[in-house]
Amino acid sequence: MKNLRRAAIIFFGIFFISVSVIAVAAPGVTVRAEVDKKTVTIGDKIHFTVTVSAPKGVEVEFPEAKKKIGEFLVKDYDFSKKTFFGKNTFTGSYTMDTLNPARHAIPELKIKYRESGENEWKELGTEEISVEVESVLAKYPDESDIRDIKGPLGLPGRYRFLIYVLAGCLAALLAAAAFTYIIKRRAAKAAEKVSLLPHELAYERLRALKAKDLPGKGKIEEYYVELSNIARCYLEERFELRAPEMTTEEFMEGLKEEEKLSRAHKALLKEFLFHCDLVKFAKYGPSPNEMDLSFKSAEKLVDQTKEI
């Protein structure tokens, strides 16, 4: 009888010990992080996904969505939860980009979890992921030294004579009205504002912006807004491109089939405008050297595309 009682005590003791071990065992929680591409160019979107798998009854908490993860700007964020065969799958999807060419790391993200009824959170971290961000100009090594737009093709010789005849006729008509025109022109000259060419206007605006010394007054965002507008207005006046009315992405999308600008000009413009947007909208703090390079990029764009 004593042996039977002792056996029963041992049996129930083992049973309760086993139940206790199972209750405090860590749940089967896993986390996986991945990107849709490991190499991109400046301004390209990167889709970064964090997936957490956990049994039912386990709470999962993602870190608060931020505007920036490492060197990447978060443009969009989405969170979803699905249940399948007694397991929950939590997914955090981040759409990001960066304007800094280099090898950047998407840092570890801490995911919190706890079983229902527990007060203390546990953590799992994602693996660090490296992404290579290339400059747009790297795609065109033979065009890194931006050249001017090619002039119009010459006409075949058989058409030149006809053009000379038409030009002579036009000159004769103009000569007949020259005296009247000169008198009217002189009378209105005092009140008439001489129109400047697009590149002359752009140079004047750039000089005026530099004279304001906005960076020295701490008005960095205002400086980049004006610098971006000068470049956009120049493009509209020079090439009849409606740049001021579009976002940078809309404008660059519209330029894909535009033949008035070379590929190298488009690459320079893309880096310049996206860098301006980084300061204007993402509150990025550029260094004095970066501000100087942005100004020189705007000047270079005008220099290389002005009328000759």
CB 233 within 8 A of CB 227: no
CB 77 within 8 A of CB 63: no
User: According to CATH, what is the number of the domain 26-134?
Assistant: 2.60.40.10
pTM over 0.85: no
Give the per-residue pLDDT at 206: 94
Backbone angles phi, psi at 30, to 5 degrees: -130, 155
Interatomic CA distance for residues 280 and 295, integer angstroms: 15
94-110 per-position pLDDT tens digit: 998 887 888 888 999 88
- How deeply is 228 buried, as exposed, middle or buried, from its count of CB atoms within 10 A (0-12, 13-18, 19+)? buried
Most confident segment among 4-13, 66-75, 187-196, 206-215: 206-215
Sequence ranges of the domains in the chain: 26-134, 141-188+195-305
| Reported confidence tier of residue 13, pLDDT bands at 50, 70, 90 | very low
Q: Specify the DSSP class assigned to residue 115.
A: E
Query: How far from 82 is each of 109, 122, 183, 273, 296, CA to CA, in Å?
Result: 21, 21, 83, 40, 51
User: Tokens 């390209």 map to which residue?
Assistant: 44
CB 290 within 8 A of CB 101: no
53-82 per-position pLDDT tens digit: 998 888 888 888 778 888 888 888 888 888
| Residue 196 clears pLDDT 50, i.e. is over it | yes
Interatomic CA distance for residues 75 and 86, integer angstroms: 33
Residue type, 45: K
- Per-residue pLDDT averaged across 153-179, rounded? 72
